[in-house]
């Protein structure tokens, strides 16, 4: 269990770092980058939660995934306008 948590945290760290790198490469978006990092962390926490929530956990993961896409698209849009 501990090894899984460590791997998961490492993966989240890599995702956050790469997301921040992409954001700065496209144009500094510190608030959007922060939002992306928080959403990525929230997704990892939801994945780690016990799936006994009547489908609400799964729906929350879907919504967070959609929010991550929207934030990334917003960062990309701002970089071109």
**pLDDT reported for residue 48:** 96
Q: C-alpha distances in angstroms, 14 versus 20, 21, 37?
A: 10, 10, 11
Q: Quickly state the pLDDT bin for 59 (edges 50, 70, 90).
A: very high
Q: Which residue has the tokens 């701002």?
A: 78
- For the full predicted model, state whether its pTM sits above 0.85: no
**pLDDT reported for residue 22:** 56
Structural contact between residues 14 and 21, judged by C-beta atoms closer than 8 angstroms:
no
**Rounded-to-integer distance, Cα 61 and Cα 9, Å:** 17
Tens digit of pLDDT for each residue in 8-55?
776 676 766 666 555 455 568 999 999 999 999 999 999 999 999 999
Higher pLDDT, 63 or 81: 63
User: What are the structural domain ranges in the chain?
Assistant: 30-44+52-81
């Amino acid at each position: 269990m501990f090894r899984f948590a460590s791997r998961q945290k490492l993966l989240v760290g890599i995702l956050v770092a790469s997301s921040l790198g992409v954001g700065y490469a496209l144009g500094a978006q510190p608030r959007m980058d922060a939002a992306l990092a928080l959403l990525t962390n929230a997704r990892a926490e939801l994945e780690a939660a016990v799936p006994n929530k009547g489908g609400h956990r799964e729906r929350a993961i879907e919504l967070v995934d959609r929010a991550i896409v929207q934030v990334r698209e917003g960062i990309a849009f701002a970089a071109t306008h």
